[in-house]
Amino acid sequence: MSQVGTTKCGNTEFRWGERTYVMGIINLSPDSFSGDGITDLKAALAQAHRLVSEGADILDIGGESTRPGSSPISVDEEVGRVVPVIERLASEISIPLSVDSYKSEVAQKALKAGATIINDQWGLKRDLKLAELAAERGVPLILMSNQRDKGGYDSGIQHDATYYDDLMTEVTSTLENSIQQALKLGVPRENIIVDPGIGFGKSWRQELEIIRRLDELRGLGRPILIGPSRKSFIGMVLDLPAGERMEGTAAAIAIGISKGADIVRVHDVQQMVRVCRLSDAIVRWS
């Protein structure tokens, strides 16, 4: 096992370093960038059960689109999308459920409904109460490095070229700051997971750089989650729409695992589980 140790999540133990864990995506937003958004409860439940049968270790459930340029939705609307699905799934499946939200009001209701992980795409920049909630409930907290508030490429804000002199220094620094804030608010270190934020305020070339230099994040001493699935950098390299980026996603995941990824967040669970298992056999077996 790696020095990162173990994270407990309900009845599940994530033993970091032993294998790569697969997080299946359930988008409950009609304007998902990848075109996989679901607005019907029955369809969402069916997709969740399929992802579990395909080998997902975690389901990440989100109600607000993270597509560049998308409009925020109200807390009530987001709760209305995610809570009914989480309530049903909590009684029907045994793997952990993650709520993908940067709003503490949403996360609080999702945890009450049965979620056991908080996935914060803003790394506590928007709502520090998420850390207080994670500490109070004793659940893992995923912290992402998000550059959309600093003029990132996909933010719609004019980009300042000097800002990106060393992308990984910026990513590492923001994640370290998020970790320290979480610790101060009572989140145990073993419950913190970091995500460099592929697709959140970086150019497509910088997203390639994140995967190439992912091992630099090992110095943070926390498990690393990456979410390259169907992202635009794959489309830029291969000139393919979101629905045709499976092979590119597989390549990014395999290299990410070789550079230290512990969790991969994906749309195509069955195929990426196979990619992870072979990558693990090469990278982790001795």
Catalytic residues: 231, 265
14 three-class SS: strand
Residue 248, both tokens: 């590119």
Residue 150: DSSP 8-state: G
User: What is the phi/psi pair of residue 256, to 5°?
Assistant: -60, -40
Strand, helix or coil for residue 16: strand
Report which residue type is found at 33: F
Helices 246-258 and 269-283 cross at an angle (nearest 10°) of 30
Give first-to-last CA distance, the chain, whole Å.
Answer: 12
- Is residue 126 within 8 A of residue 174, CB to CB? The reply is no
Beta pairing, strands 192-195 & 21-27: unpaired
| Inter-residue contact 233 to 255 (CB < 8 Å) | no
* DSSP codes joined into one string, 155-189: TTSPP-GGGGTTHHHHHHHHHHHHHHHHHHTT--G
Rounded to 10 deg, the angle between the 104-113 and 129-137 helix axes is: 20
What are the two backbone dihedrals, phi and then psi, of residue 51, each rounded to the nearest 5 degrees?
Answer: -65, -40
Residue count (the chain): 286
Q: Residue 254 corresponds to which tokens in the numbers above? A: 């395999």
- CB of 16 closer than 8 Å to CB of 6: yes
